[in-house]
Amino acid sequence: MIGALRGEVVLASPEGAIVVDVGGVGYAVQTTPRVAAQLAATTGEVRLVVHTHVREDAIVLYGFTEGADRRAFEQLLSAHGVGPALALAVLSTLSGPELAAAVEREDLEQLCTVPGVGRKTAQRLILDLKGRLEQPAVAAPKAPEAVHQEAALVLASLGFTAAEVADGLEDLDPSLPVEEAVRVALKALVRR
């Protein structure tokens, strides 16, 4: 089984399909649109934690930048009636920690914001997953690379190319919060 990939993203679609080149071999990986956009804006090597899903007719890799999201994906798969497509749809709308919080609060409304999840499915998710999902740490500071990746994603969503994003974030202070990092990068890009 493939548990992680480290390489360069050579293709990323807005729907969440990416190709990661690992030593000259391109691995097709399904992920959320948010992660695909984040990876498309990243230059250089990336690391993904992977869930390998084996079916009778296919082997499909599902990739995540955070171990918590992969664990949430795998917990979703253990819920009654949830397959990989629905699990990925849930994590496209809610992050792993947001999902855990919604399940613990029994927040049907938030779970129903996921395309394909109605009240009955939301109730089933709560029943099957309550107490089993990883709870987020309270007020944990973001790692510098996470801040850098989030700032890159924001800049890419504003229409900057990957090269411009890399230039804007080149001399970034890693201790800045995301909002300040984006502000500093925008000022740097305007000056160039």
pLDDT in tens, 145-159: 777 778 788 777 777
Residues whose CB falls within 8 Å of the CB of residue 142, separated by 6 or more in sequence, listed in order: 150, 177, 178
Strand 45-54, strand 59-64: pairing: antiparallel
pLDDT value at position 178? 78
**Distance from C-alpha of 76 to C-alpha of 86, rounded to nearest angstrom:** 9
Torsion of CA 8, 165, 65, 142, to 10 degrees: 140
**Distance from C-alpha of 10 to C-alpha of 43, rounded to nearest angstrom:** 10
pLDDT value at position 63? 94
pLDDT category at 34 given cuts 50, 70, 90 is confident
pTM score = 0.66
Domains and CATH numbers, the chain: 4-64 (2.40.50.140), 67-129 (1.10.150.20), 144-191 (1.10.8)
pLDDT category at 135 given cuts 50, 70, 90 is low
Q: What's the average model confidence in pLDDT over 31-38? A: 90
pLDDT score of 141 more than 80: no
What rounded mean pLDDT belongs to the chain?
A: 85
pLDDT value at position 191? 73
pLDDT score of 140 more than 60: no
pLDDT digits (tens, 9 = 90+) for 156-192: 777 778 788 788 888 777 777 777 888 888 888 777 6
pLDDT category at 139 given cuts 50, 70, 90 is very low
The angle formed by the CA atoms of residues 9, 13 and 17, to the nearest 5 degrees, is 75
pLDDT value at position 26? 94
